Structure 1
Amino acid sequence: PNPPVKDITKAKIALVTSGGIVPKGNPDRIESSSASKFGKYDIDGVYDLTEATYETAHGGYDPTYANADADRVLPVDV
């Protein structure tokens, strides 16, 4: 394994998910099944993925709980 990060305040951290979380309205029109592209979204300054601002574009699971609180799939609120 890689060595531990010495100073986390200077590290660049990426969060990656296959849960289909996108900004509300899916502005990039990512398909919910057999997607032909992926999204890359800056979440700098985002501390909570709310129902008003994020949703899921994923056809492989029931989106009810992810749409109610996208932090369940991509937990930026911890």
Structure 2
Amino acid sequence: MADRGRQECRQPRAGSVKAPIAPNELRARAGAKPPVRSRRPLARRIAVAVAMKLALLVVLYLLFFSPSHRPRIDDAAVDEHLLPTR
């Protein structure tokens, strides 16, 4: 009787409290197939990262290095640049 402040933890009677049923167990009881999950989540994450980087490189090329951003160079401009007349 020294532990009056501590309450006793009583075990429930058999059959009075049912354990919750897991969702996958409910699906199995209903005859449904479990959801298909990727067996290689790391490979999928790597593939997504590589695809995003490739898309970013394409966007950067189109914004800064595409042919529309290059100056026109003709023979007269090269001659004038290499052999300036005084």
Q: Specify the TM-score bucket, using the shorter chain as the normaliser.
A: under 0.3
Instruction: Please say which structure displays the higher CA radius of gyration.
Output: 2
TM-score norm. by structure 1 comes to 0.23
Higher strand proportion, which one?
1
Q: Normalising by structure 2, what TM-score?
A: 0.22
Relative to total residues, which structure has the larger helix share, 1 or 2? 2
